[in-house]
Amino acid sequence: MRILPSDQLVLDHVAARDAPIVARAVDWAGLNSGSRNAEGLSLMLDRLQVEARRLPAEATRLTTGTAVSVSDDGSVRTESYADALCLTCRPEAPVQVVLTGHYDTVFPAESAFQSVRTRDDGALNGPGIADMKGGISVMLAALEAFETHPERGGVGWTVLLSPDEEIGSPGSAPLLAELGARGHIGMTYEPSLPDGSLAGARKGSGNFHLTVAGRSAHAGRAFHEGANAVAGAAIIAARLHALNGQREGVTVNVAKISGGGPLNVVADNAVVRFNVRVPDHQASAWITEAVAEIAGEAPLPGLTLALHGGMTRAPKPMDASQTALFEAVRETGALLGQSLSWKPSGGVCEGNNLHAAGLPNIDTLGVVGGDIHSDQEFAWPASFGERARLSALILCKIASGEIDALRLKQLRMGTMA
């Protein structure tokens, strides 16, 4: 594999736009688009649709699905989510690449973290600058450059930019599954690990909400007539926590217990919220069964339990297709003087969804940064152009067949058989 003259023209296209790639992300990071900030998400979607006009693609806003949510008082309702943006180019081409990203962040509208600054060491510090408004800017720059390649006609591509990845993709999961099933290679733009490594194997994840319904009573006059939901929730939380260490690689994080009320009233409602992480499908089945067993046994008389949620992202192991794709990307990076490696991660992302649908994918093609999900989030400016060139060259090598997308898809389907 080597850089051909046609590839170099694509790379030069990116290099000439390094500064605007960064500036665009900085501008976007100054617009709050927390997952629950409907107004901010709408404004961000408008900005993205304007940027999409640079590409020869059909832009469509897609309605996302709905999901059940549980309030702190235990009430259950159906929740809807903002639209996703889909960009489609050459859907009839023999090779199809699926590129995904999310335009939501973890920072709510009222967060004090609302703008980007340059640190003394030159890094950019701002909300979503790495995760993943920087990544979206990299993605769009790579596609714009690739569209100058003479062999682009053999490769079609679809971009999905979702509004809900940071809360588990409850609305966009069906869209990801559909795209993953019909694509050959996936490219997702989460930031790399802080040292520039890519994420390899990823654990699977599940989010659960267990409601506890009790019976209220006066805490002094009629204490024994009540059934304390908060006390029951505490026992359940301890049982869930005790699952840690019982199976290698499985973790259970009890994140929140809510409910109850005045100190002189026996609590009649509570909610236990928890997350699980699993290394493989067997562990996923084990933890699902263990959770169901705990949720099926009220810890105190008079309590009623109801379990909501479940496994939201399947594990993403380094199977044959993933290993082959990583080696191809590593070789591509070497042509650019980029030494790429990968490490396993307990984190999850849209790459898990795509892999579960049958799509081999690299899911940390975004900028190099760190401290994501905190007000210390940062990204290195030089990495924007570097990562855009990497993605652009990957696309070139898919077009030339040096990265054999059809074979990679066959390998993935073979592991699913």
Q: From CA 279, how far away is CA 120, in angstroms rounded?
A: 39
Q: From CA 394, how far away is CA 401, in angstroms rounded?
A: 10
Helix (H) or strand (E) holding 324: helix 320-335
What pLDDT shows up at residue 398? 98
**What average pLDDT does range 134-161 have in this prediction?**
98
Buried b (16+ CB within 10 A) or exposed e, 140-179: bbbbbbbbebebbeebbbbbbbbbbbbbbbbbbbebbeeb
Q: Please identify, among 295, 313, 331, the residue that sits at the C-terminal boundary of a domain.
A: 313
Helix (H) or strand (E) holding 161: strand 155-162
Residue 287: which region, alpha, beta or left (left: phi > 0; alpha: psi -120 to 50)?
alpha
Helix (H) or strand (E) holding 235: helix 229-241
Q: Tell me: do 209 and 107 sit in the same domain.
A: no
**What average pLDDT does range 109-118 have in this prediction?**
97
pLDDT in tens, 330-356: 999 999 999 999 999 989 999 999 999
The amino acid occupying position 299 is P
What pLDDT shows up at residue 306? 97
Q: From CA 108, how far away is CA 89, in angstroms rounded?
A: 33
Q: From CA 207, how far away is CA 277, in angstroms rounded?
A: 9
Q: Tell me: do 242 and 220 sit in the same domain.
A: yes
> Which tokens hold the place of 153?
């006609």
Q: Tell me: do 172 and 77 sit in the same domain.
A: yes
Q: From CA 287, how far away is CA 137, in angstroms rounded?
A: 38
| CATH, residue 162 | 3.40.630.10
What pLDDT shows up at residue 7? 98
Please report, rounded to a whole number, the percentage of residues in the chain having pLDDT higher than 90: 97
For residue 334, give every residue at least 6 positions away whose Cβ sits within 8 Å of its Cβ, in sequence order, or none: 340
8 Å CB contact between 180 and 95: no
Q: Please identify, among 246, 279, 313, the residue that sits at the C-terminal boundary of a domain.
A: 313
Q: Please check the confidence at residue 417 and state whether its pLDDT lies above 80.
A: no
Cα angle 168, 95, 13 (rounded to 5 degrees) comes to 85
> Which tokens hold the place of 344?
């396993």
| CATH, residue 305 | 3.30.70.360
Q: Tell me: do 225 and 327 sit in the same domain.
A: no
When the pLDDT of each residue in the chain is averaged and rounded to a whole number, the result is 97
pLDDT in tens, 12-58: 999 999 999 999 999 999 999 999 999 999 999 999 999 999 999 99
User: Could you give the C-alpha distances from 360 to 109, 315, 356, in angstroms and in order?
Assistant: 35, 13, 9
- Pairing type for strands 84-89 and 58-62 reads antiparallel
> Which tokens hold the place of 282?
């067997």
Q: Please check the confidence at residue 102 and state whether its pLDDT lies above 90.
A: yes
Q: Tell me: do 242 and 177 sit in the same domain.
A: no
What pLDDT shows up at residue 416? 80
* Residue found by looking up tokens 């995904």 in the block: 100
**What average pLDDT does range 229-239 have in this prediction?**
98
Q: How confident is the model at residue 414 (pLDDT cuts 50, 70, 90)?
A: confident
The amino acid occupying position 317 is P
**What average pLDDT does range 220-224 have in this prediction?**
95
**Phi/psi at 36 (5° precision):** -105, 5
Q: Tell me: do 215 and 309 sit in the same domain.
A: yes
**What average pLDDT does range 181-192 have in this prediction?**
97
330: domain range? 5-202+316-416
Q: Tell me: do 299 and 321 sit in the same domain.
A: no
Q: Please check the confidence at residue 327 and state whether its pLDDT lies above 90.
A: yes
Q: Tell me: do 407 and 262 sit in the same domain.
A: no
Q: Report the domain count for the chain.
A: 2
> Which tokens hold the place of 22?
């960064």
Q: Please identify, among 274, 291, 313, the residue that sits at the C-terminal boundary of a domain.
A: 313
What pLDDT shows up at residue 415? 82
Q: Tell me: do 140 and 213 sit in the same domain.
A: no
How many alpha carbons lie under 13 Å from residue 50 in its C-beta half-sphere?
8
User: Could you give the C-alpha distances from 11 to 5, 17, 142, in angstroms and in order?
Assistant: 10, 10, 9
Query: Which residues lie across from 343 on neighbouring strands?
Result: 199
**What average pLDDT does range 88-99 have in this prediction?**
98
Query: Which residues lie across from 306 on neighbouring strands?
Result: 211
Nearest to 289 by CA among 311, 314, 313: 311
Query: Which residues lie across from 34 on neighbouring strands?
Result: 105
> Which tokens hold the place of 199?
């994420």
Q: Please check the confidence at residue 262 and state whether its pLDDT lies above 80.
A: yes
Cα angle 359, 317, 256 (rounded to 5 degrees) comes to 105
